[in-house]
Copies of this chain bind each other. A is one copy, B any other.
Amino acid sequence: MSIVVVGSVAYDGVETPYGKVDRMLGGAATYIGLSASFFHPVRIVAVVGEDFAQEDVDLLIKHNIDTTGMQRVPGKTFFWQGVYSHDMNDRETLRTDLNVFADFNPQLPDSYRDAEYLLLGNIQPALQKSVRAQMTGPRFIGGDTMNYWINDYREQLLATIEEWDFLLINDSEARLLSGESNLKLAAKRILAMGPNTLIIKRGEYGAMLFRDDTFFVVPGYLLDKVFDPTGAGDCFAGGFVGALADCGFDLQDEKIDRRELRRAVIYGSVMGSFCCEQFGVDRFRTLTRAEIDARYQEFKDFTSF
């Protein structure tokens, strides 16, 4: 079994109140893949340019990420640059050079097609749909999107998420997609669009999971220092799907256990919190499964009553 992850692999320039990095490994597929890799084997689909460094390929491979589906093409790798406000709640994009990502048309290697988990990072909905069509056996699929696709590609997006098991977005995206400011009612409308499971990420305030008539809410982890929040949402996604794959919920029965889903939301939150502790993907260079499980236990400790 494995998880296919599709999305951007990029270089980022990031400035936060704690420092500045001109160029470091980033991109949704990178964060998702690294995060999920702590739980389950990952296969990545992405495109990079000629400037993509071997040490960054090596980092992915070191985490048992299959890079067969990562095409290297003429040109430069996607570059994004942004700066965070002092309270970390806002960020301003200074530069977006799509470069080779502008023509990204994800093609799955044959070896990927029978994977059982598919996690689609935030790319054009039609591309997300085409990936899903290339797979023979996905039994649990879903992904992320953003305000741009919700506003300007709404019909395409609806036709895409209709086929998904889960949608993983943030609170403002949930409000935008549903046209409803109350999140409980927003969730109800979104679940009627196709996905049977909705996860709403709330940044520092945690996350919510909606499914049928039940919901689960977890507060965010309290960090002493939010060093760099870039990629935290993607790491949440990777931890969520990784943990589900790891515990091997019963795919044959297509029955997803409430307990396993809640556990996966916590692991998502755990991975998002680790992501913020250092610049870019740096925290994942040293992170261990034991640290992950210890933080899972911390979540139990500070939320139980």
Say whether A224 contacts B182, CB under 8 Å: yes
**Contacting residues of chain A (219-275) with chain B, CB-CB under 8 angstroms:** 219-220, 222-226, 259, 262-263, 265-266
Complex formed: what's the CA distance from A220 to B183 in Å? 12
Q: A259: which B residues are within 8 A, CB to CB?
A: 305
* Most B Cβ at <10 Å: residue of A86, A217, A225: A217
A interface: dominant SS: mixed
Give the contact stretch, choosing among A100-108, A189-197, A296-304.
A296-304
Q: A208: which B residues are within 8 A, CB to CB?
A: 219, 222
Say whether A305 contacts B218, CB under 8 Å: yes
Say whether B224 contacts A184, CB under 8 Å: yes
Complex formed: what's the CA distance from A304 to B214 in Å? 13
* A183: min CB distance to chain B, Å: 6
Say whether A222 contacts B183, CB under 8 Å: yes
Which of chain B's residues has its CB closest to A187's CB?
B222
Say whether B217 contacts A219, CB under 8 Å: yes
Complex formed: what's the CA distance from A262 to B222 in Å? 17
* Most B Cβ at <10 Å: residue of A182, A225, A226, A305: A305
Complex formed: what's the CA distance from A184 to B222 in Å? 6
* A269: min CB distance to chain B, Å: 10
Say whether B218 contacts A222, CB under 8 Å: no
Judged by a CB distance under 8 angstroms, whether A91 is at the interface is no
Query: Contacting A303 at CB < 8 Å: which of B87, B216, B224, B226?
Result: B216
A-B CB contact pairs (8 Å), 15 listed: A86-B181, A182-B224, A182-B226, A205-B206, A215-B302, A216-B305, A217-B219, A217-B220, A217-B222, A218-B303, A218-B305, A219-B219, A299-B305, A300-B305, A303-B303
